[in-house]
Chain A
Amino acid sequence: MAYSKELIDHYENPRNVGSMDESENNIGTGLVGAPACGDVMKLQIKVGADGIIEDAKFKTFGCGSAIASSSLVTEWVKGKTLDEAATIKNTDIAQELALPPVKIHCSVLAEDAIKAAVSDYKEKTGKKGNAAAE
């Protein structure tokens, strides 16, 4: 299977690998997937007082497409509002990385990870927004 240049670049030089302190109030953490399925993504966002995502970090257990999808979304969410971030679609991710059909689930997981992180942040801060997802 031939992977796209973009995908290989994100896999070999992943952006924003790391962790932030989950207990901090301005950090939202999303942990999605399952080890038994071969994919687990942890995505964290740091939200500024203005409601803009200042920073994002990820750690991922998974195939190259899963790692690249998480790396890509950490870049995309930075500078966005929570509601904007929650509108990122798996199809955008799949298109950007030219994911083959068998890897679409990786982009779905990355979308879920963003929603989970946003939702975690909103729960923490008591701001139940309409963009929060399950």
Chain B
Amino acid sequence: MTTKSKTGHWTQSTPLYLDYQATTPTDPRVVDAMMPYWTDKFGNPHSRNHHYGWEAEDAVEKARESVASLIGANPKEIIFTSGATESNNLAIKGVARFYGDKKNHIITCVTEHKCVLETCRYLEHDGFDVTYLHVKENGLIDLDELKAAITDKTAIVSIMAVNNEIGVIQPLKEIGAICREAGVFFHTDAAQATGKIPLDVNEMNIDLMSISGHKFYGPMGIGALFVRRKPRVRLVPIIHGGGQERGMRSGTLPTPLVVGLGVAAEIAAKEMTAEAERLHGLRKRMLDGLQSRLPEIYVNGDLENRIPGNLNISFAYVEGEGLMMGIKELAVSSGSACTSASLEPSYVLRALGVEEEMAHTSLRLGLGRFTTEEEVDYAVERIASEVTRLREMSPLWDMAQAGIDIKSIKWAEH
């Protein structure tokens, strides 16, 4: 967390954290709840014949109820995993392997997280057909395109609830209705949505849902997969062993992490509404502040259908990574990829139709539970002054001011 010195400036050793979509700090209440399970209550929850095992098992089952309750599921439908990457792998590979003989088609979307896209690519090598739906300019899928893509060979539709870069919320209820009517399983990667927006697996007709602990103030290394019982979804497991988690995910459950996930879910259920309202206010303050100080900045992705803690902005004519170096007092993320060998900017922004040159100028600003109004004001001031400084140094800004269209210039792409 950031600390302020007496002069009102954040100390350089602890930059202001504005990257809540990358991870969130574990809530101290979560840590407190976890503590006894490392030392005193250290039993193996699968030990059925003594106090230590029973104690751990009780804690695990209580956490299962909390997680289930947050998404309107039955506790028996919650499988604990190591995180959303594993959950996504298990959901998609598991369904594909179980139903693959008869149904070998998967539908997903181009802006999904890499762990969904790479899982689908892997299955393509194994002979599955995958349809990658495009997104509209606002980052949302076209429901008619989804309907048209479903065939009698489609086993599963996997569409993320909330995008990790631009924070947009896909129309889950509508997607669920389409899938249910077509008799196709609907999986959603809800890593960025859980605890941020209300989710109800029955109302939304969701059959599988991936959850990550550290994205909503729980610990890293723990996640969950919701697997519907009625109508029943069957999976071929990825990890084989002692048959824990109804045989779908073998391995001893990490009791402290599971307890942490459960408490994170309880806190989210209680505080989500108030927190969302507060974050809406902070985001508006940040965007208004930046827009009042800077011309030619553009929000990427739909601003209405979006979690309140996310902003993704292109600061035209200023390269994102150069900007990040100038605002080192802030911990943020960029859609630019100047460090990658390919030099290709964010595939998510490109999928929205954001031009490459604009994708290179983007920053992702993530607000969360511990962000304050004062911090937002400080961030606005730092970003606005640095963008101004770098624009004065930018040949593209000069050209734009002189009325030259940078697209009219024949650039030598390197």
Interfacial residues, chain A to chain B (CB-CB below 8 A): 1, 3, 11-12, 14, 17, 19, 31-42, 59-64, 66-67, 102-103, 105, 108-109
Contact = CB atoms under 8 A, between A and B. Distances in A.
B411 A35 contact: yes
A1 B339 contact: yes
B338 A62 contact: yes
Contacts of B319: 38-39, 61-63, 66
B68 to A, nearest CB: 42
17 contacts: A19-B398, A33-B411, A34-B414, A35-B396, A36-B356, A36-B357, A36-B360, A37-B360, A37-B414, A38-B345, A60-B393, A61-B394, A61-B395, A62-B322, A63-B336, A66-B322, A105-B414
Contact of B339 (A36, A67, A102): A102
B414 A33 contact: yes
Given A62-B319, A64-B325, 5 more contacts: A1-B339, A35-B357, A35-B360, A36-B357, A38-B360
Contact of B321 (A32, A37, A40, A64): A64
A42 B319 CA distance: 15
B412 interface: yes
Interface in B397-414: 397-398, 406, 411-414
B343 interface: yes
B395 A59 contact: yes
Contacts of A31: 395
Interface in B375-401: 392-398
A4 to B, nearest CB: 13
A85 B246 CA distance: 71
Most buried by A among B338, B339, B411: B338
B406 A33 contact: no
Nearest to A33: B414
Contacts of B321: 38, 63-64
A11 B360 CA distance: 18
Given A31-B395, A59-B398, A67-B393, A38 B318 contact: no
A40 B391 CA distance: 13
Contacts of B148: none
A35 to B, nearest CB: 3
* Nearest 7 interchain pairs by C-beta: A35-B357, A34-B411, A64-B325, A36-B356, A38-B360, A42-B395, A59-B395
B1 interface: no
A59 B393 contact: yes
Most buried by B among A3, A14, A40: A40
A34 B321 CA distance: 16
Given A38-B338, A61-B396, A63-B319, A32 B412 contact: yes
B35 to A, nearest CB: 35
B317 interface: yes
Contacts of B345: 38
A31 B395 CA distance: 9
Given A35-B356, A35-B360, A40 B414 contact: no
A84 B339 CA distance: 31
Contacts of B341: 102
Contacts of B339: 1, 63, 102-103
Given A35-B356, A105-B414, A64 B392 contact: no
A105 to B, nearest CB: 7
B340 interface: yes
Interface in B339-390: 339-341, 343, 345, 355-357, 360
A60 B326 CA distance: 14
Interface string B156-193: 00000000000000000000000000000000000000
A37 B325 contact: no
Most buried by B among A14, A37, A66: A37
A92 to B, nearest CB: 19
A40 B394 CA distance: 8
A17 B393 contact: yes
B325 A11 contact: yes
B394 A59 contact: yes
A77 to B, nearest CB: 18
Contacts of B394: 40, 59-61
B393 to A, nearest CB: 5
Contacts of B325: 3, 11, 63-64
Contacts of A17: 392-393
A37 B359 CA distance: 10
Interface in B300-327: 317-322, 325-326
Given A35-B360, A36-B411, A41 B322 contact: no
Contact of B406 (A12, A35, A109): A35
